[in-house]
Amino acid sequence: MRAIVNRLDPRTRFAALILLIALLACAVVAFERARVESATRRVELTMDYNDFLSLARSYNYNPADFLVEMRRAGLTSLALTEELGSNVVSSNNAIALPGPALAAQAHVGGIADPTLLALVRAGAVRADEVYLLVFDTPTYLRYRLQLPLHFEAKSIRVLHAVKPYVIALRSQIDYFNTSGLGIPSDQVALARHLHLLVDPRFQNDERFSLPQIQREFAYTGAGSRLATVVFFGLRNQVMGFPDHVKDMAQLFSEKPYRALNFGEIETYDSSQVQKGSSELASLIPGRTVRVEAINKVELDKLALPEIVARYELGVRERNVRVVYLRPFAHQYNGLSIEKTNVEMVREIASDLAARGFRPGRAAPIPLYRGNSRILVGLAALAVPSIFLLLLGFYGWYRPLWAILAYSATVLLYLGGIVSHHDLLARSIIALSGGLLFATAGFSVLSRAFLQAPAAAVGRQIRRSVAWTLVATGITLLGALVVIGVMSSPLIMEEVEPFRGVKLLLALPPLIALALYLFTDKFDPQRRDGRETLLEPIRIYQLAAAAVVLGAGALVLLRSGNQSDISPSAFELALRHHLTSLLTVRPRFKEFLIGFPALMLMPALRIPHRRWLGVLLALAIGIGLGDVIDTFSHLHTELLVSVLRVLYGLVIGAVIGIVAILIYRAFASRR
């Protein structure tokens, strides 16, 4: 840092003072965020009851006894799905017959119910009606309460008001099949009896406003046992979408539902995101939790240890707070299907407990003091400040730039608040800050590029470590700015994205290359940009450029939780072993590319350094950009990101030391 400070334009010293204040604000945000993350470590382990019941019936297991075993293993909740019309027949409590089917059945003498038989004999069966024959009083009462929510009152007729009950409904069977009929009361009673929380799953009806939404939730009878609502349906919408999402949000503020969370299902395909989820989450800040589920098709392809590892990773690194389980239909280690599922729950619960997580009602990221507009506004001032310091370092500073830089930042931030697009404005500011601090991290290496290597190997290793720590430390200040500006609960729950984050991987190496080629800070032989552009290109340089561009494209395609190119089996195995050994896996771009290049560069002889300068600049830029990118995954706990970079730094430094020793051994022979 001293190298930059000593060469700063004296006119930019004020920017250093403002930068210090801004970094202090960022540190306060980071501290508050870490405190909140340590206090929100309750995780729900919930079981899809419909899938569970199908498995239990298939193998003749007693559902209640089975659930008791899973509760003892760590299960906290049951996910109870609203019954659809198409599922009535599978409940054993009722049957739904469209008018034509009822009339056809009369011709084969298959009608035993007196009410329906009388209807057929009187010729009163209608083709546009569905007839519900209900054998269970609680089911009948539920239908009487639920049907008016979805159908006009005049279209509902009770033909027989005692058991067996008969209801005639004016509707087409295909529409009835997709209509919700509420959560069966016996399922809620079972959850309450077993002291399990209830995660209700409702399907949206676009006509629902607040009264209908209130009745839908009240009919569950779960009361204080309601924990996290997870919406479902063929149209994949939150309740109230598109015109009554505010009504759905209003429910969360009512007294019976103040402990209710909204479960946002984790997905990597934008087409699978529930419609209205972002709007609902933004209306109920601090009440959203991330839900991770594995679909049935994929579940069949995985081994039980892989399932456990995936859920554990999601909780630890992606802020998942609801582990949505489906029963595993395969045996494991000679255990029965029943014992295998109990073992799955036990292993997930024990792994999470070992990582410091607790079972119970899912804990969302609440609104906290670190997300205050004043602190975030102060943190944002770090961006124009580092910009001006860089201009001063390269001799490009002009007073007008200071006015423009600070004015643009303040106007962008305030404009985002006024226009209700503050998270977009914060994304632009944080992205700019990350890129500028990565640039500063590379710029501080200018003296290392010009400095002759030390004669003694030990001294050179210490010098390389020092330069690596300085460059990484300045870059980490950029990560601190990203944390200070972007640590909103909506971003941390990944309801809103950090826009443009891939640029943190793509631009730093290109910026580093441009600074290396077109400024006089990194080469002892002074040259201007025109000379650089007019230099002849050799075949090996062209081949190296092609390799570098291909590697850069691969890095971008491979970035993200679900990349366009799948990792190889070797890489997956290496990732698994690193995670098992270190609990937090360091990133390959840091410990295999960036940090080794940072270590090796000061140890090279100046002619070799000049010959490899382009590749070194790119490699260092990749590593420093990746450090910022690591902290840009705001859904990852702050401590996990710190450990990831720390492990990458240590391993990368060791690899760099080995590279220095190998280089010295070969260079000494010439």
Contacts of 570 (CB under 8 A, 6+ apart): none
For residues 290 and 493, the answer to whether their CB atoms sit within 8 Å is yes
Average pLDDT score over residue span 584-590 = 88
Kindly write down the DSSP assignment for every residue of 572-599, as one continuous string: HHHHHHHHHHHSSPPPHIIIIIIHHHHH
Is 273's pLDDT higher than 50? Answer: yes
CA 137/CA 354 separation, integer angstroms = 46
Tell me which of 117 and 632 has the higher pLDDT: 632
Residue (of 248, 154, 259) closest to 204 by Cα position: 248
pLDDT tier for residue 580 given thresholds of 50, 70 and 90: confident
CA 465/CA 656 separation, integer angstroms = 9
Residue (of 335, 348, 354, 351) closest to 307 by Cα position: 348
pLDDT tier for residue 79 given thresholds of 50, 70 and 90: very high
Per-residue pLDDT of 155-173, as tens digits, reads: 999 999 999 999 999 999 9
CA 82/CA 181 separation, integer angstroms = 6
**Token reading at 231:** 């919406």
CA 249/CA 239 separation, integer angstroms = 10
Kindly write down the DSSP assignment for every residue of 49-91, as one continuous string: HHHHHHHHHHTT--HHHHHHHHHHHT--EEEEEPPBGGGGGGG
Is 435's pLDDT higher than 60? Answer: yes
Per-residue pLDDT of 522-541, as tens digits, reads: 876 655 556 555 566 666 55
Cα-based angle 592, 595, 596 (whole degrees, multiple of 5) = 65
Contacts of 613 (CB under 8 A, 6+ apart): 449, 516, 522, 523
Average pLDDT score over residue span 335-356 = 96
pLDDT tier for residue 2 given thresholds of 50, 70 and 90: low
Position 445 scores a pLDDT of 95
pLDDT tier for residue 494 given thresholds of 50, 70 and 90: confident
**Token reading at 646:** 């720390």
Is 463's pLDDT higher than 70? Answer: yes
For the question of whether the overall pTM of this predicted structure is more than 0.75, the answer is yes
CA 614/CA 360 separation, integer angstroms = 53
Position 527 scores a pLDDT of 57
Is 68's pLDDT higher than 70? Answer: yes
Residue (of 160, 230, 198) closest to 67 by Cα position: 198
Question: What mean pLDDT is reported for the chain?
Answer: 89
CA 76/CA 359 separation, integer angstroms = 7
Cα-based angle 179, 180, 184 (whole degrees, multiple of 5) = 145
Average pLDDT score over residue span 233-244 = 92
Per-residue pLDDT of 276-299, as tens digits, reads: 999 999 999 899 999 999 999 999
Q: Residue 233, by phi and psi: left (phi above 0), alpha (psi -120 to 50) or beta?
A: left
Residue (of 527, 528, 523) closest to 448 by Cα position: 523
Within a 10 A sphere around the Cβ of 358, how many other Cβ atoms? 11
Position 1 scores a pLDDT of 46
Percent of the chain with pLDDT over 70: 90
CA distances from 32 to 22, 36, 184 (A): 16, 6, 43
pLDDT tier for residue 512 given thresholds of 50, 70 and 90: very high
Average pLDDT score over residue span 5-24 = 84
Residue (of 515, 570, 513) closest to 545 by Cα position: 513
For residues 189 and 76, the answer to whether their CB atoms sit within 8 Å is no
Is 307's pLDDT higher than 60? Answer: yes
| Percentage helix, strand, coil for the chain under 3-state DSSP, each rounded to 5 | 60, 10, 30
CA distances from 61 to 205, 331, 337, 404, 522 (A): 35, 15, 10, 71, 72
CA distances from 593 to 429, 525, 588, 616, 648 (A): 28, 27, 7, 9, 10
Position 254 scores a pLDDT of 93
Average pLDDT score over residue span 239-243 = 94
Average pLDDT score over residue span 37-49 = 96
Is 265's pLDDT higher than 50? Answer: yes
**Token reading at 663:** 């280089």
State the Rg of the chain over Cα. 31
CATH number corresponding to 45-81+186-359: 3.20.20
By three-state DSSP, how is residue 319 classified? coil
Kindly write down the DSSP assignment for every residue of 164-221, as one continuous string: SEEEEEES-HHHHHTSB----HHHHHHHHHTT-EEEEE-B--TT--HHHHHHHHHTT-
Domain residue spans of the chain: 2-38+367-667, 45-81+186-359, 86-177
For the purposes of burial, counting CB atoms within 10 Å of the CB of 29, is it exposed (0-12), middle (13-18) or buried (19 or more)? buried
Average pLDDT score over residue span 406-434 = 95
Amino acid at 406: Y
> Before 242, cis peptide (omega within 30)?
yes
pLDDT tier for residue 638 given thresholds of 50, 70 and 90: very high
CA 205/CA 150 separation, integer angstroms = 8
